[in-house]
Structure 1
């Protein structure tokens, strides 16, 4: 919806198109089967949203380390909103509901951006993962250990990647 309005009031290419490959990489990384099979993250609409939010938060944290690239983070967040809007409409949500749900999703992303700044291996990160991925229910020990290890590996891979290369990326760092 937002992209349709943008097209009405602007001319030329959408400046966010340059970030679309990175957005696709975020989604592909979040949909990697290991999160759901080895990590026991629920493979549900909520679980998928939670994983996209987790990966997106880690990518946005890395972009934030390079203030000159702040616009890339804004564009990536706008692509998140547009994609969530489109997904909800595709599964049948109406206009009245979509706006409220998008507001909740953006709020959830904001909360996760703060929570996922916790250090790798910390009790704070563990609590945030349990709260967000398993919705506060008991997380399977092996699954939680897998997710914590993979988050640390992804964060390390992102840290090793120059931000300029990251924002142009079509893939995120490979699993170890």
Structure 2
């Protein structure tokens, strides 16, 4: 699977705006939230490449679910394209060759899709046990860390996202 190509040179020369530009602030806010120190220092997420990827997909999943609930399906597609663009760039910067990047990005997209489905189901469980179990399967935790603190903090973030007006969310105004 090849990643989504950047805007074509012809479109840029003609001044056609990239529709993803409106979602870039939301993408940057999503990444900033996923990199907050508390996830790693207080919630037990491993501060590794894997742990950071897990947090990006977790926070992105919550944002995508909020956009879906608000009927912003076009925005979910564009935000997912920004995820792909960023992951593609990260892989290339880390020295992954052109022939392999597409396959790796494809696997990252599969991971995002699988986790989005798992988190969607777990967030619907009012008791919270399903969320902790899902987090323990999908987030790299430090040795001995329990998923409970992470689950509580994720529920708090989801409540903040739910309380955020859709236009504010699209503009990247996520309360941290």
TM-score normalized with structure 1 length: 0.88
1:24 partnered with 2:28: yes
Instruction: Trace 1:4-153 onto structure 2 (pairs within 5 A).
Output: 4=6, 6-8=7-9, 10=11, 11=14, 12-67=16-71, 69-117=72-120, 118=122, 119=125, 121-134=127-140, 140-141=145-146, 144-153=147-156
CA RMSD in angstroms comes to 1.9
Deviation at 1:57, TM superposition (A): 0.1
The unaligned stretches of length 5 or more in structure 1 are none
1:172 partnered with 2:174: yes
Q: Secondary structure at the match of 1:172?
A: coil
Distance, in Å, in 1 between the alignment partners of 2:169 and 2:40 is 25
* CA spacing shift, 1:121–1:97, aligned 2, 3 Å: farther
CA contact (8 A) 2:61 2:116 kept: yes
Q: For structure 1, which segment, 79-88 or 120-129, has the greater mean C-alpha deviation from structure 2 after superposition?
A: 120-129
The unaligned stretches of length 5 or more in structure 2 are none
Q: How many residues align?
A: 168
CA contact (8 A) 1:120 1:152 kept: no
Structure 1 residue ranges, 4+ long, deviating more than 6 angstroms after superposition: none
Deviations 1:81-130 (A, max 9, x none): 00000000001000121111100000000011111111365222111101
TM-score normalized with structure 2 length: 0.88
